[in-house]
Structure 1
Amino acid sequence: MDTLQQIKRDLISIIKCHRPSRKEKISIFRFQVTGYLELLSWLKAQDLYPQFYLNFRDNDKKLASIGTVLSFSALNEAQQFILSNKVSLVGGMKFNNNVMFFLPRLLLEQTKDSLCIQFVINNEINWLDEKKEILELLDSLTLTKPIQDIKQTIQLQTKKASQQEWESWVEDVLREIKKGILTKVVLSNETNFVTDSPLDDKDFLAKSEKYNKDCYHFLLAENKHCTFLGSSPERLYQRNGQSLVTEAVAGTAVITDNEKQNKQQATWLLNDEKNGYENWLVVKDIKQNLFPHIEEINIQDKEIKRLRQVQHLKRRITARLKCGYLDQICLESIHPTAAVAGVPKKESKSFIQQVETFSREWYAGTLGIMAEDYAEFTVTIRSAFIEDNNIRILAGAGIVEGSVPLLEWEEIERKALGLISLLHKE
């Protein structure tokens, strides 16, 4: 993109003339240009970390960022910084509620035919060091690398839980449900694969974007050795001012090559008592947790959310936040939902921690962007960790009264196929 060359020249001129202000913690420079830049291709050519990417599910917006000027491990500090400085932060929360938000050095936002570039300088550190780092970064601003098809072959290495072990976990949950201690628990499993050569994270996500439609596509690489990425069908929430949109995605049926059978499965799913109950538990959990902070709420009827390997029940939920309540309250109230944790939340998370033989880390967490007037987050499911030649795939299923262990095992295997099958496609 020729306009990137001009922006690079403008930024170099700005940096050379810049004199840090003691009155301002940061200096922000924004550029708006017409044109389209393939952000994964651009991100693939960058060497600065952390790297962040989000392709939004319901519109044509994409974000990519590199570097960090400031980072936050507490929601209240992140929220206050946004309000004080009128900036956007990217990042999110892990499943265990650990917080990681950061102000990127360079943030690109691409819409259909417009590219917005935001560049940030930290005025509170040594200017000579800051200037040197910035000029080194600008050397690669205009670089891109072509996205390539995945050529690696894949081999199963280990499953953290065998089918027999995982089904025994389900039986444990069912016993706790029968006692009245738990109502729902979402159990997951981690499957480790090895490839014959290092797997490029941007190539892999680009292929997922091609095949896994109607999803959020996300990537977080805290360093060059490990990337967390995925293609999630589920929104945690979107906020415009005080207007909030969230959803309950729970209840699953198969997708096959037989369209007639898929329609039959969809009809069955809409009317199945067990799956409807599982979905309603998520609705009820979101409603109860949001209730002290909202003025009104509306819950829509069940509909089918169709994906490549599975189809889900979905209910759209809209609400009006009380004045003054923003993303700190939304994140603390909603995450993690009953769709990825369970009911009651505290007891289900404790059960998961005791039973699962691995750390979920970012799996079943949330990633997104938040600003003063707008925020949007996805639930980080249908995801994987890529570490050179290794790829760890995570998938889960909600266990409620009436769950059948074998069927739940088959469900998490189908969900994992959403990413694993990409390595087998031409």
Structure 2
Amino acid sequence: MVEKQVAILLQQISELLTQDIPDSAGYRQFSIELDQPGDASPVAWLAAQTCYPQFYWQDRDGQQEVAVCGDAYAFSTLLAAQMFIHEYAEFPEISIWGLNAFTYQKQAQKAILFPENALFLPRIEVRLKQGRCRVIVNIFSPFSLRQEVVRTLAFIRALATPAAPSAVASRVLSCEHLPEQDQWRQQVVQALSAIDEGSLQKVVLARKSTLHLDMPLEPMALVAASKAVNHHCYHFMMAFSPSESFLGASPERLFLRQGQRLSTEALAGTVVSGENARIVNDGAQWLMNDGKNQHENLLVVDDICQRLQGAVDELDVKPAQVMQLRNVQHIQRKISANLLSGDDADCLQRLQPTAAVAGLPRHLAQVFIKHHEPFNRQWYAGSAGYLSLRQSEFCVALRSARILADRLELFAGAGIVAGSDPDQEWQELENKAAGLRTLLSGQVTPVVSQE
């Protein structure tokens, strides 16, 4: 089991840390790798830990799974994280993990300023990739590496031995939508009016559903349950404390950078999915031939291509295909390009937020969202992932939720374009939120065709 291997590897790393370390500023990295069974998972290991922050990541293809905890250093911006990686380029395995917010806004009622980023260099990383397990210990101090080694050894000794991950047992006592359906209809009508007037081409409106539970919800239990049924998705989780975390099962890549090669995509246009093969096939055919959904997707394609101008010397847009998920299906067009420079901060600035989560024109859509949505998105519709010297990858933080002890806030959005119907878009919110909501005990949210 990976848990036993992690314990053995951490003991070996602890012995390495007793080497002579200078009493000066700097960075050191220790890592050990072993073969390990491909079906093992670090989920249970991370769930047992009581140190924060924590971050979990599994890419959409299931090729890489990572659990990290503790912060050796935190970064206020992606640019600062990028500069750190380049400063210590002799350590190409450095990875910085975390979240980027949708926008930086003030919450009107509580006057709380949310940070733009929650990015950190972890103390401990457990990486599973291609049948191998690697444990990495990062040590950084702007003052004294020797003192930081002492703290790191104490941190390692405090790591817990995992047990089997718990199942999701929380039940929903009540649910509140913000906005409620009548207010949602009004917002969609206002958006359609702005589109008819020509000030907007598209705007993505979101809903927050607050579920009150009978007991606190364990975030890694929800992640494990989601991984079992929500396939072809990025799975991510960031825990800030024992009572607060943000997680999701997102189908959408924001960008993958491998050296100078950039991969991104337009994922927009939605229809119901499910287990009935005939309904799924009929829905996919309808989606590929529906003018409203095709128009919505092409708006995103055009926007991405325009934003990348000046940053790439080659750009390739693949033909449309259907991405089938558990509750919904989407139109997907993959986009690749050669970057003029491997600048992750520039890629993020150009691509986030995409037209698939904000709208067009981007600035005017964001202004509309700020004025009309009755809640602050914070991490929802931002991005989650990592950056490193050789490769960086971020997904769009969709199909996501915020856990606050015994409350679960579910987020979902729908793209409003000319021809959108408020009630059909509301049902789209229900279908998208069902990806996580149906994992709770006793919860079954029906999905309805959007044809």
Tell me which interval the TM-score lies in, with the shorter structure as reference length: over 0.9
Determine the structure 2 residue equivalent to 1:240.
Answer: 258
Paired position in structure 1 for 2:31: 30
- Are 1:65 and 2:45 an aligned pair? no
Counting only pairs closer than 5 Å after superposition, residues 333-412 of structure 1 correspond to structure 2 as 333-412=350-429
5+ residue gaps, structure 1: none
In structure 2, what is the Cα distance between the partners aligned to 1:133 and 1:425?
Answer: 44
- Structure 1, 393-402 or 98-107: larger mean CA deviation: 98-107
Counterpart CA distance in 2 for 1:352 and 1:407 is: 20
* Contact 2:23/2:144 (<8 A) preserved: no
SS of 1:422's partner is coil
The alpha-carbon deviation at position 17 of structure 1 amounts to: 3.2
Aligned letter for 2:357? Answer: V
SS at match of 1:204: helix
Out of 8, 11, 20, the residue aligned to residue 9 of structure 1 is 11
2:88 paired residue number: 85
1:135 and 2:180 correspond: no
Contact 2:13 2:31 (C-alpha < 8 Å) held by counterparts? no
**1:332 corresponds to:** 349
Write the letter of the residue equivalent to 1:99: N
Measured in 1, the distance between the counterparts of 2:308 and 2:103 equals 19
Partner residue, 2:243: 225
Stretches (4+) displaced over 4 A: 126-129
Partner of 1:94: 101
Indicate how the Cα distance of structure 1 residues 19 and 310 shifts in structure 2: closer, same or farther if over 3 A, else same: same
Q: Which residue number in structure 1 is paired with residue 22 of structure 2?
A: 20
Q: Taking structure 1 as reference, are residues 248 and 238 closer, same or farther at Cα in structure 2, changes over 3 Å only?
A: same
Deviation at 1:141, TM superposition (A): 4.2
Asked whether the equivalents of residues 27 and 123 of structure 1 are also in contact (C-alpha less than 8 Å), the reply is no
Aligned CA distance change for structure 1 residues 16 and 366 (closer, same or farther; 3 Å): same
1:201-350 equivalent positions in 2, closer than 5 A: 201-322=219-340, 324-350=341-367
Post-superposition shift, 1:265? 1.2
Q: Write the deviation string for residues 150-181 of structure 1: whole angstroms up to 9, x where unpaired.
A: 22221233111110001110111000111111
Is 1:46 the counterpart of 2:49? The answer is: yes
Question: How many residue pairs end up in the alignment?
Answer: 424
State the TM-score, normalizing by the size of structure 1.
0.95
Q: Contact 1:20–1:123 at 8 Å: present in 2 too? A: no
* Paired residue type of 1:20: P
Moved more, 141-150 or 295-304: 141-150
After TM superposition, the structure 1 stretch with the greater mean CA deviation from structure 2, 99-108 or 396-405, is 99-108
Percent identical: 35
**CA offset at residue 128 of structure 1?**
7.0
**Local SS of the residue matching 1:104:** strand
How many Å separate the matches in 2 of 1:4 and 1:187? 43
Q: 1:127 to 1:77 in 2, by over 3 A?
A: closer
Aligned to 1:180: 198
Q: Distance in 2 between matches of 1:18 and 1:55?
A: 36
Q: Which amino acid is the alignment partner of residue 298 of structure 1?
A: D
Q: Distance in 2 between matches of 1:318 and 1:74?
A: 25
CA shift, 1:258, in A, is: 3.0
Matched position secondary structure for 2:418? coil
Which deviates more, 141-150 or 59-68?
141-150
CA contact (8 A) 1:253 1:310 kept: yes
Give me the whole-angstrom Cα distance separating, in 2, the residues matched to 1:346 and 1:62.
35
- For the aligned residue pairs, the C-alpha RMSD in angstroms reads 1.7
SS at match of 2:438: helix
- Distance in 2 of aligned mates of 1:75 and 1:127: 24
For 1:50 and 1:113, locate their aligned partners in 2 and report how far apart those are by CA, in whole Å.
26
Farther-moved stretch of structure 1 (210-219 vs 97-106): 97-106
Q: Distance in 2 between matches of 1:141 and 1:376?
A: 28
